[in-house]
Amino acid sequence: MKNKIYIAGKVTGEDHLKCAAKFAKAKQEVEALNLNAINPLEVVGTWEISWENAMKKCIVALMQCDAIYLLPDTVESKGAKMELELCAWIGFGHVIYS
């Protein structure tokens, strides 16, 4: 079974098309390494959701992964920083930087 890699990056406040393209590119990069990429935009499935509910879905998906792949704009994202901190708190596997 392929390792599952969760992609973390800034979503809130981003242009929807540019954000979707950024995460799609990251997914391609991860899958090029023969890994299973988990795109949080696909996990959430809609832009019409509260930040809190989106994060609930994303955290569930993250906890089913083997590693987290950090996009450069992670440092600008409250949610992505929270996901990374959660990984640190629970001693989560691997962190991969884009």
**pLDDT, the chain, mean:** 93
Q: Determine the pLDDT at residue 90.
A: 86
Q: Give me the CATH number covering residue 46.
A: 3.40.50.10400
How far apart are alpha carbons 27 and 36 in whole angstroms? 8
Assess whether pLDDT exceeds 90 at residue 58. yes
- Considering its fold, how many domains does the chain have in total? 1
Domain limits for position 86? 4-97
Of the two residues 55 and 88, the one the predictor is more confident about is 55
Closest CA to 6 of 34, 40, 42, 31: 40
Q: Determine the pLDDT at residue 96.
A: 67
Percentage above 70 pLDDT, the chain: 96
Q: Determine the pLDDT at residue 93.
A: 65
Distances (CA, A) of 97 to 8, 18, 24, 35, 44: 10, 20, 16, 15, 22
